[in-house]
Structure 1
Amino acid sequence: MKLMKRDEKAGALRKQDMIPGVVYGHGIDAISVKVPRKEFVKSYEKFRQTKTFNCEIDQSPHQVYIKDVQRDVLNPEKITHFDLLKVSSSDKIHTRLPIVLLGRENIERQGLIVQQSLNDIDVKYQVGKGLESIEIDIVNFKDGDMLKVSDIKVPDYVDVLEDMDMLVASIAHPKVEAEPVEGEEVAEVPLVE
């Protein structure tokens, strides 16, 4: 991705279909930059906020990762600003990775409900070892099974920063409320005044 230094205000850039951003981090002062929207979106779709990549600022190479994106309030798909963090090979990336439950459809076909309590997980890992998500196979889970953070298997280079006792997902039967039997009267509860 090729970035250009910018002096213009963010609003003026957005009218030109450019996205303003800032690059900061390892060994550099913060640099205000701009990039064509299409080029940034292409990089974002490829690297998300989990992988490092190389970019150029006025023909100077930098290894970065997307630290933050800001989105339009009325159109959340539209990115309005970004932060790139410059890193070195000895740095660690701190991010949240999405949790993907594999086999969910199989469990739901059995009439069970998968209740996912945690959708992403706080982690740190070495630059260059990027992950897109944490995939967990739950295909063999049964009614009453629970998955905690401590049960998640991650590569050795990933440090999990969540509470290990935190619930990720549980499997349960849907609750069915008993309907009153025909002819049976429902007891009235007296009101207290």
Structure 2
Amino acid sequence: MAKEIPDLQAEVRTGTGKGAARQARREGYVPGIVYGGGTDPVPINVDYHALLKRLKHGQFLQTLFNLKVDGHDDVRVICRGVQRDVVKDLPTHLDLMRLKRTSRIKLFIPVEFINHDKALGFRKGGTLVAVRPEVELEVTASDIPEHITVDLTDRDIGDVIHINDIDLPAGAKPTIHRNFVIANIAAPSGLLSEDEEEAEEAEEGVVDEAEAPAEAEEGDEE
């Protein structure tokens, strides 16, 4: 299933230059520019509070948006830069690049774990440790997966799941060129404690034997 692409609302900015940009900021907007795609650049304004909310959500530069501007056809864009105030660290300008449906882009895709009830390790009290709840993939703009799926069937305590163990959607490939870890099944804390106690007891037994005085042999003089 293709990932749902969020909308980004904007309006055309009348006028260009620093004066028009300052006026937009006074009115509660962040000025920006949309370029690429074989058409002329378009100056835009984006609502300051809406943009700030998306920035706080994270991964703004890795998110594909459906840009909606009155009087223009919707277009898919990705942000190529956000300028910020050097003191307040708040957005002052953004650059958006138009994408064709055939464009290849890098995005973070969520990892979904399924069949928890069929995992052997969970029946023994183990827990899932998600090392990478999201994975950066190179995908086609027209076919962005909603998630990648990890099947936990028969996974046992100590099992480690790597990226090469997962069937990725057609056309998608990791941006990291090594077999990195996605998750593992960890032993329950109680089991770890018991193992540690047994190891400590065994170690103490060895020490006690080493320190115990040798018994007198028969016939030794008192």
TM range (shorter): 0.5 to 0.7
The alpha carbon displacement at 1:81 in A equals 6.1
Q: Paired residue for 2:130?
A: 116
Q: Where is the strand percentage greater, Structure 1 or Structure 2? A: 1
Please name the residue that 1:151 is paired with: 165
Residue of structure 1 equivalent to 2:36: 25
Counterparts in 2 of 1:20 and 1:178: CA distance versus 1, 3 Å: farther
Please report the TM-score for the alignment, with normalisation by the length of structure 2: 0.57
Q: 1:92–1:150: structure 2 CA closer, same or farther, 3 Å change rule?
A: same
Match of 1:60, SS state, is coil
> What is aligned with 1:35?
46
Count of equivalent residues: 176
1:89 is aligned, of 91, 95, 101, to 101
Q: Spell out the pairing of 1:135-150 with structure 2 (5 A cutoff).
A: 135-138=149-152, 140-150=154-164
Secondary structure of 2:21's partner?
Answer: coil
Map 1:52-131; keep pairs closer than 5 Å.
53-56=66-69, 59-61=71-73, 63-67=75-79, 82-103=94-115, 110-131=124-145
Give the fraction of aligned pairs with identical amino acids, expressed as a percent.
22
TM-score, normalised by the number of residues in structure 1: 0.64
What is the distance in 2 between the residues matched to 1:80 and 1:153? 41
Unpaired segments ≥5 residues, structure 1: 73-77, 188-193
- Superposed CA deviations along residues 29-54 of structure 1, whole A, max 9, x for unmatched, are 65542123576689999xx8555535
Instruction: Note the alpha carbon deviations across 1:104-142, whole angstroms, 9 max, x for none.
Output: 687667421222222322212222212233232325421
Matched-pair contact (CA < 8 Å) for 2:160–2:184: yes
- The structure where helix makes up a greater share of residues is 2
Whole-Å Cα distance in 1 between the matches of residues 112 and 139 of structure 2?
A: 19
Give me the whole-angstrom Cα distance separating, in 2, the residues matched to 1:110 and 1:81.
53
Indicate how the Cα distance of structure 1 residues 164 and 80 shifts in structure 2: closer, same or farther if over 3 A, else same: same
* Structure number with bigger Rg: 2
1:145-168 CA distances to partner (integer Å, 9 max, x unpaired)? 111011111221222322341111
Partner amino acid, structure 1, of 2:66: F
